[in-house]
Each structure stands twice: as structure tokens, then as C-alpha cells.
Amino acid sequence: MAPLKKNRIAYRLTFQVILFSTVVALLLTVLQLYLDYRRDLSDIYTFFTTIEATSIRPLEESVWILDDLQVNLQLEGLIKRQDIVYAAVEMGDQIAWTKGAPTFANSLSRIFPLYHQIRGVPEQIGRLRVTASLDGIYQRLLRRIIILLSSNAVKTFLVSGFILLLFQRNITKHLTTLAEYFKDIDIRNSKPHPLQLGRRPSHQPDELDQVTATLNALCQSGYRAFLDLRTQEQHLRLFFDATEESIVGVDRQGACTFINRAGQDHFLGRTPDSFIGSPILERFAHDCRDLPQPDMLGEQVRTTIREKRVLLTDEMPLRRPDGSLLLISLRSYPVLEHKQCTGAIVFFADISRQQKLEQEKQLFTKIIRQAPALILIVDSNSRIEYVNASFETVTGYESGTLVGKNVLEAFRGLHLEQQIEEVSKLINKGETWIGTFTRTNHQGRCINLEAVIFPIFNQEGQRTNVVAMGRDITRELQLVEQLHHAQKMEAIGKLVASIAHEFGNPLLGVRFALREVLQHHGIPLEDKNLLRLAENECDRMRKLIRDLQQFNRPSTGKKTDFDLHRILEETLILHQNLLTKKQISLIRKYDPQPIRLSAVEDQIRQVFINLLINAGDAIGPTGGILTIGTVLRNEEVLVTVGDNGPGIQPENLDHIFEPFFTTKSAVEGTGLGLPVSYGIVRAHGGSIEVQSKPGKTEFTVRLPQENVSAPILQKAGVAS
């Protein structure tokens, strides 16, 4: 029994075999006893049936003749039967004959009526009572129980012992070997050796052989998996230590279970052992105790563990132990085992530098988007990636129509192929191209762009982008041109003043001489007409010389404060007949607010007269539309005079302000109206601009609203 006590499996198996055998033996015994009991009862009932068939008739004859001997013999024969203990013949209410001892407990009785034929009619003469006792059956059953239980107990003990012996020999010792083998396995320190049960080799492997082979395979694969896991764990730890993001493991109580190198550096710790087991969440709250909601980060981790969900927080302040304040992004993930949350993994990173870079990126984006310079960026496949707002404004192209297109196809209509080819050669060499583009934009305005185009390379030296930066220098060129024109006009003014002075006196003498000759008598009429024609030409030359003198003659006019709209209306009334005669329709587009100027009134009036006369001459005799508008913008007055005439030829636009340049006949003009107007406006600190195309010409006079200094006005030199 010692092995049974030591080996719990064998003990349980033996107990189960004995219990099962006992239950089976008891069930079989009960069944056998029940069958024997039923058989004994059946024998008694069969005997009762036999009495009725064989013994009743002779007994009726003996009772009729009152033969005591025969009746007693017959009753004696009945009680000799097994289990029959009492037999009696009753006549009336009295017992006539009886054998055996009557019993009432554990017995079966049967009454048989006795009849005799009297005059052919059967009449009952008595009855036979037979009683069978069950005590004998019970005694026999008891003996059978003892015999069966004893025999079954012996068989059960022998069978159980034999089974226990076989199990101990063939299974239990091998299970013990298996248990000892697995108890001694430690894959963390060494590779497990193959399991051997010490059995004889068999040609056909049985279940134990299959289990042994499977366990050896599992041990080998488990050892390899352990090595892989250890390698992956090392790689993971190296990755965690290499990442700049701090990683902390937390259990349900808030204690640290893992921390990487970045986390140690953040909390100024030397080794992970100084953190493992410590309440790491308290450090989050402690480091931010002087900030609003100091425990928000720790509470987030607790909420993750409590509610089993991922939580993220951006731009939260966290103070380091050295007092420096960081802006961090924190993410907490629950750790689930068997659907239970055992802790959390916390990732937090310093985003202060990232936020600063993002702010700088947004600032640079705004600078590029809002910069006055034109910026265009092309990728390595010559497709446009970006154009800023200034590029759209100046060129007239919209970003949506350019981005994604090939740069050659996008600007094919501008005929820039030759310049783009030059740019491509330098860009392919990695050099920078500097030059200018002169083209007409979508609005028909001629623009001049000073551009710098250079390539962008990555760390491998591969070109990733090409950036073109440009500046609209159209206005600068116009100002330079105006400066050159002003300088030329000043030089011409001095020259023509000198010429006018030299020609004026001789011309006056010639005119006086012609007048004297005309007063002589006897001159033919034809000659007088020639002399009058010569005198008229002298007058025209004198007027021309007077206009030339206006370029450099000091003005004697005084500046006054006057209403601009009044001057315009008086000028229009003066030329109403001209407008009516040429069927010119007038459109006024005045600024709704009054506009006052401080200038030499008659000089400004002369400018508008010259512009009205030029506009009327441009419209021609067939009629047209004359538009006059005023605008007050940023302390600057703009006066526009436009017509719908044929326009000025492009080659003449650069010469219209030059003296003596005119497209009219010699009789209609001298070519001094616009140059004189240019000089007046320039002397008042303003400018005149012209834009013209077929069907529309517009002069724009720009004058400062503030007072102009007297020395500048004195240089205008224009008399009314």
C-alpha cells in the first residue's frame, strides 16, 4: 500500500477500479437476488396451480365421504412441498382437517373451493386453505448474498491489484519520469536534453512513444521560441533605449514595472533598478505641482487602467526634476491579460522642439505665401508643386491651374522656350540662373520680372526641386524711364529756351519788316497775300517760341487751395462746344467725397485742357465717349481721362511726352501739349501714366493731396 499512498494517480485509479467493481458487483448481486426471488415466488404460484389441477378432485371425494385418513394423507403431502407450511380443510366456519402451523407474517395463502355433485348440481362442501411462508426464500437469498459478495470482493481485489500492478509497471513509472523530467527543465539556462523513458523499443510506436516524441519536439520548439523571444526582447529593449520617446510600464497600483533609457534621463535616474517598484505616477504629479491640474497626466494613466482604453494628451506641461519645463505628448495603453487590465504602457515625448519647428514652419509658410516676391517651386519631374499669392497676382495665373502641370506646358503660350532652355542647362549643371523675363500677363499688362532660379538637392546630392524667385520690376523700370525722360526734358528745356531766345529777336525784326513792306503802296495783290502769309507764319513761329520758353521760364503763379471737381467742371464748360460739335458723350466718375488740392490752379487747369483736347482729337469727327474720373486713395489724387478712340500705337507710347513729337498734322499741333503737361505735373510732385489699346486710351494724373513746397512749383515755369 506504500506505493499507493505515494502515487496519487495510482491511488485514485485503484480506488476508482474498486469502487466501480463494487458497484458493478452490487448491481449484479441485486439483479441475481431479484431474479432468484422472482423464481422462488414463481415456483410457489406454480405449485398453487398444480394443486388446483391435480389435488383438488381427490380431496373433494375424500371430504364428501369424510375419509379422515385420505384427507390427512393428502394434506400431509401438500405441506411437504418446499416453503408450504400450512394446509387445512374448512367446512363452514370450522376447520375440519389441518396440517402444519398457520402463519400470517411473510406468507402467501391460497383458498380453493371444494364442490360435489348433488342431483347433478355442484354444491360447495368446503374449502382448502394452503399457506406458503417467505422466510425460507429470505434465508436462501441471505445465503446467496453472502456468497456473492464474498466472491465478488475477492475478484474485485484481485482484478484491482492486477490492474494497479499493470498501471504501475507500464504507465505510472513513466509518468513519474515525465514529471521529474519537466521539473528539472530550465530553458533559461540550458537546452533541454531529449526525454527517454527506458522502455524496450517497439516496431510500432504506442501512445507513450508518441507522447515522448511530441514532448521532445515541444521542448525543442519551446527552447527555440524562448531564444527568439529573448532575442526579440533584447532588440525591443535596444529599440526602447534607442528611441527618444520615454516609455514607462505601470502596474495597477501605479508602480513602475519597466522604464527605458529616455525615461531614466528624463527623471534623472541612473539605473532602471532605482525606478522598478517605485510609484512612478506620483512623479508626474510631483513634477507639475505648481502647474494647473498637476495630476492630470497621472490621472490619465489611472483612467486607462480603470476603463481599459487608450488615451492621448498633447501639449501638456511637465517639469523635470532639474526645474526645466517641457511640453510633452503622452499616450497610455492598457495591458490586458485574460480580459483583465494588469497595468498600462505610457509613452511620452518632448514636443517643445517639435512645436517650435512647427511654429517656424507655419511662419515660413506665411512668409512664402505672403512675400512680395514671386515664388514658384518645381519637383524633380518638372511639375509645378507650388506658387505663392504674389505669383498669382502679378502673372494672372491661378494656383489651381498650374499645380501638377509640366512647367513647359504651363507657360507654352508665353514663348519662353529659349529662356527655359538656357535655365535648364544651368540647372542641370547645379548652377543658378539670374535674368529677367518680359512678357504680357493674362490681363494684357506688360510685366518685367527679375528672376533667380536655383536647384535644391537632398543629402545624397540628388536634385529634388527647382525654386524660381522673381520680383516685378515693371514699376521700377517705368520710374527709371520717367527719370531718364525727366532728365531729357530738363536738358531739352534748357536747349529750347536758349534757341527760342536766339530766334525770338531776329523773328521779331523779320515780322516788323514784313509789316512795313505791307504798308507800301503799289504792291500787287498777289504779293500782299504772300506777305500776309509770311506774317502769319511769323506769328505761328512766335507762339511756338513762347511755348518753348515755358520749359525753363520761372513761374510767377501762386499756389492756392481749390476744389478739383470745380476746375474739371469749368474746363468741361469751356470745351462744351468742342464736345457737342464732335458728338462726344461725357461720362463722369467722380469720387463721392470732395477733393481739394494745394497747387498752381492755372497750371493744373492747363494740364486738363491739354488732356481734353488730345482726347477729343483722338475720338475723331464720328463721335465717341469721353470718361473723366477722380479717386482719392491714400492721400493721393488720381484723375483719369479716357477715350474710346483708335488708341496709340505701341511704338509711339514711349515718345508721346517728348517735345515736338506728334501724330497730328503740322497745322493741328506742335507736339508740346503733353510735354508741357508732363512738366507741370512733375513740378507738383506727381506723375502722368498712359495705357492704350485699340478702342481705349486712358491718361492717369497722380497728384499728392498734401501741400507741395514752393521751390518745386517755381520750377514748373508754365504760364496760364
Q: Could you tell me the CATH number of the domain that includes residue 609?
A: 3.30.565.10
Beta pairing, strands 463-472 & 246-251 = unpaired
**106-110, 177-181, 357-361, 551-555: which is most confident:** 106-110
CATH number of the domain that 535 lies in?
1.10.287
Q: Which of 285, 513, 467, 241 is nearest to 371 (CA)?
A: 467
- Are residues 363 and 348 in contact, defined by beta-carbon separation less than 8 angstroms? no
User: 649 and 502 in one domain?
Assistant: no
For residues 110 and 56, the answer to whether their CB atoms sit within 8 Å is: no
Contacts of 640 by beta carbon, 8 Å cutoff, 6+ apart: 589, 627, 628, 629, 630, 631, 698, 699, 700, 701
In a domain, 216, yes or no: no
Distance between CA atoms of 330 and 300, rounded to whole angstroms? 9
User: Domain end: 439, 457, 472, which one?
Assistant: 472
Q: Which of 287, 297, 347, 351 is closest to 320 using CA atoms?
A: 287
pLDDT, tens digit, for every residue of 406-442?
A: 877 777 666 666 777 788 888 888 888 888 877 666 5
- Whether residue 98 is found in the same domain as residue 19: yes
Per-residue buried b or exposed e for 356-366, using 16+ beta carbons within 10 Å of the residue's own CB: eeeeeeeeeee
On whether both 496 and 424 belong to a single domain, the answer is no
Same domain for 687 and 574?
Answer: yes
Question: How much is the pTM?
Answer: 0.37
H or E segment at 559?
Answer: strand 559-563
Which triple of cell numbers denotes residue 454?
A: 536655383
Q: What is the largest CA-CA distance in the chain?
A: 229
Between the CA of residue 88 and those of 95, 97, 108, 179, what are the distances in Å? 7, 5, 14, 79
What's the domain range around 675?
559-714
User: Are the C-beta atoms of residues 105 and 85 closer than 8 Å to each other?
Assistant: no
Q: How many domains does the chain have?
A: 5
Give the span between the Cα atoms of 6 and 14, in whole angstroms: 13
Residue 470 confidence (pLDDT)? 82
The pLDDT of residue 445: 65
For strand 624-633 and strand 584-589, is the pairing parallel, antiparallel, or unpaired? parallel
Whether 669 shows a pLDDT value over 80: the answer reads no
Is the domain of 331 the same as that of 405?
no
Q: Are residues 564 and 708 in the same domain?
A: yes
Here the CATH number for the domain that contains residue 454 is 3.30.450.20
Residues 316-333: tens digit of each pLDDT: 777 666 667 777 788 889
Residues whose CB falls within 8 Å of the CB of residue 348, separated by 6 or more in sequence, listed in order: 245, 246, 248, 297, 318, 328, 329, 330, 331
Q: Are residues 6 and 100 in the same domain?
A: yes
**What crossing angle do the helices spanning 673-683 and 474-518 adopt, rounded to 10°?**
120
Here the cell at position 643 is 477715350
Phi, psi of 467 (to 5 degrees): -115, 130
In sequence order, the 6+-apart residues with CB closer than 8 A to the CB of 581 are none
Count of other CB atoms within 10 angstroms of residue 466: 22
Among the residue ranges 148-152, 240-244, 659-663, the one predicted with the least confidence is 659-663
Instruction: Decide if 347 is inside a domain.
Output: yes
Cα–Cα distance between 673 and 656 in angstroms, integer? 10
Question: Strand, coil or helix: what is 503?
Answer: helix
Asked if residue 85 and residue 103 are part of one domain, the reply reads yes
pLDDT, position 299: 81
Query: Crossing angle for the helix pair 68-79 and 56-64, nearest 10 degrees?
Result: 150
Determine phi and psi for 436, rounding to 5 degrees: -130, 150
Identify whether residues 701 and 577 lie together within a single domain. Answer: yes
628 pLDDT band, cuts 50/70/90, is: very high
Mean pLDDT (the chain) is 78
φ/ψ of residue 591, rounded to 5: -65, 135
Q: What is the CATH number of the domain that holds 70?
A: 3.30.450
Residue 148 lies in a domain: no
Q: Of the given ranges (1-10, 364-373, 693-702), which has the lowest mean pLDDT? A: 1-10
- Number of residues written out for the chain: 720
Helices 673-683, 601-619: axis angle to 10 degrees equals: 140
pLDDT at residue 336 tops 80 = yes
Give the whole-angstrom CA distance, residue 586 versus residue 612.
11
Cβ atoms of 33 and 144 closer than 8 Å: yes
Residue 14, pLDDT above cutoff 80: no
